[in-house]
Structure 1
Amino acid sequence: MRRVVLALGSNLGDRMAALQGGVDALFEARPLVPRAVSPVYETAPVGGPEQGPFLNAVVAADTALPAEAVLERALAVEEAFQRVREVRWGPRTLDIDIIAVAGERSDDPRLTLPHPRAHERAFVLAPWADVDPAAEIPGRGAVRDLLAAVADQELRRRDDLELRLPD
């Protein structure tokens, strides 16, 4: 089993329902074993066209699946939530990114590991630090240190919202 870290985000429709539905769907068939889910954060969009704020979270899971199979699962869940890819970094019902897979490195354009921009995004780093305070991004450093470098990004923890992991 290897640890996989996934980031989820939504800024269209019922954002919280999309995040919870994404978590539920990811773990439905159990090739991914849930280990932790972060608090929910509300964040301003980064890049792309003008759009509404996102709700973001990170989940950690264990799996024996290869990274490519985890990617296929994430893409299928996005599709089930009517994810549209018309505009790069545009608004979305549900976005699921693989951030890291057990320290694995890959330069494959379809699945770059660790995620090539994770170290620049507070909406990934803050929730990841919540689920694993000792986390590190291979080649970049400790998540907590990287988070300090992006402290100027808009980020608000939403303690009034809570995601549940499946039993």
Structure 2
Amino acid sequence: MTEPSGSDAAPVDALISLGGNIGDVRATLDRAVDLFCDGIAVRLKARSADYATPPWGVTDQPPFVNLALSVDTTLGPRGLLERALAVEARLGRERARSRRWGPRPVDIDIIAYGDVSLDEPDLHLPHPRLGERAFVLVPLAEIVPNRLIGGRRVGDLAREIDAAGIERLPARQAAERPARP
């Protein structure tokens, strides 16, 4: 697959999930969105509210805060993944030292990239466990309920999943948000 890149490439709609459960998570997620969405190669179209969510996979850890983004990007899937990993590392995530599904300051996942289907060792599109993850579906359904992924509407998938324990958090006041760079 040829990777589009740069300002000459036609933008592609991508869906992104962010979460974390270490430190000042909401401030870290705000910073992650700012770093990920530069307004050039990745342009933010919509951001969900923040949601408090129970841990998934490994349950002996603090709750998470999760959110979803809809972006337009001129980066290819691999370039978008590289950007996500670079933002995670910049914000303190050490993937090599962390436990799978364990605590982390930030996690950024590409959920869908246009209508691309991709199955590579470290990049699967659309995200293969989307239908199992209420912490992804609930925020996504807020911003793109009619978006089709794998032939199903995001809103329908969110209505069909057990979303027990997921709580929409109140919006933060401007004074609570970190200063933008």
Q: TM-score, normalised by structure 1?
A: 0.91
Give 1 or 2 for the bigger CA radius of gyration. 2
How high is the sequence identity, in percent, across the aligned residues? Answer: 40
Amino acid in the other structure paired with 1:36: A
User: Displacement of 1:10 after TM fit?
Assistant: 1.0
**Structure 2: runs of 5 or more not aligned:** 1-10
The answer as to 2:158 corresponding to 1:147 is yes
**Could you say if the C-alpha distance between residues 160 and 34 of structure 1 is closer, same or farther in structure 2, counting changes exceeding 3 Å?**
closer
The aligned runs of 1:101-112 (5 Å cut-off) are 101-112=113-124
Distance 2:91 2:114 in 1: 27
SS of residue in 2 equivalent to 1:22? helix
Q: 2:170 aligned to 155, 159, 164, which one?
A: 159
User: Displacement of 1:135 after TM fit?
Assistant: 1.4
Q: Which runs of 4+ in 1 moved over 6 A?
A: none
User: Displacement of 1:14 after TM fit?
Assistant: 0.3
> Which residue number corresponds to residue 9 of structure 1?
19
Q: TM-score, normalised by structure 2?
A: 0.84
> Which residue number corresponds to residue 108 of structure 2?
96
Q: Output one character per residue of 1:99-132: Cα deviation in whole Å (capped at 9) or x when no partner.
A: 0001110111211000111111111111111111
SS of residue in 2 equivalent to 1:154? coil
Distance 1:4 1:74 in 2: 12
When the two chains are superposed, the root-mean-square deviation of aligned CA atoms in Å is 1.9
> Which residue number corresponds to residue 82 of structure 2?
72
SS of residue in 2 equivalent to 1:89? coil
Distance 1:39 1:105 in 2: 28
Amino acid in the other structure paired with 1:35: K
Question: Is 1:99–1:114's contact at 8 Å kept on the other side of the alignment?
Answer: yes
Count of aligned pairs: 164
Distance 1:14 1:149 in 2: 31
